[in-house]
Amino acid sequence: MTSRRHYIFPTLLLSTILLSPTHAADFCVADLTTQTTSGYTCKNPTNVTADDFVFTALVHSGNTSNTNKASAVPGFVQQFPGLNGLGLAVARADIEPGGAIPLHSHPAATEMIYVAEGSITAGFISGASNVVYVKKLNKGEVMVFPRGLFHFQVNTGKEHAVGIASFSDSEPGVQLVSLAIFGNDFPSFLVEKTTSIDEAEVKKLKALLGGSG
Q: Are 147 and 201 in contact (CB under 8 A)?
A: no
Nearer to its own copies, 160 or 209 (CB): 209
Task: By CB under 8 A, tell whether 47 contacts its own copies.
Answer: no
Task: By CB under 8 A, tell whether 144 contacts its own copies.
Answer: yes
Q: Are 153 and 93 in contact (CB under 8 A)?
A: yes
Q: Which of 119, 154, 163, 188 binds its own copies (CB under 8 A)?
A: 154
Closest CB 181 distance from its own copies, rounded Å: 7
Task: By CB under 8 A, tell whether 208 contacts its own copies.
Answer: yes
Q: Are 73 and 91 in contact (CB under 8 A)?
A: yes
Task: Map 144-196 to HEC letters.
Answer: EECCCCCEEEECCCCCCEEEEEEECCCCCCCEEHHHHHHCCCCCHHHHHHHHC
Task: By CB under 8 A, tell whether 124 contacts its own copies.
Answer: yes
Closest CB 77 distance from its own copies, rounded Å: 8
Q: Which helix (H) or strand (E) holds 131?
A: none
Task: By CB under 8 A, tell whether 102 contacts its own copies.
Answer: yes
- Residue 3: what are its φ and ψ, rounded to 5°? -65, -30
Residue 80: closest CA among 110, 47, 53, 109:
53
Task: By CB under 8 A, tell whether 160 contacts its own copies.
Answer: no
Task: By CB under 8 A, tell whether 212 contacts its own copies.
Answer: no
**How many residues belong to the site for its own copies (CB under 8 A)?**
150
**111 labelled binding-site residue:** yes
**160 labelled binding-site residue:** no
Q: Which of 75, 96, 119, 188 binds its own copies (CB under 8 A)?
A: 75
Rounded CA separation 172/23 (Å): 26
Which residues sit in the known binding site for oxalate? 106, 111
Which residues sit in the known binding site? 104, 106, 111, 151
Which residues sit in the known binding site for Mn(2+)? 104, 106, 111, 151
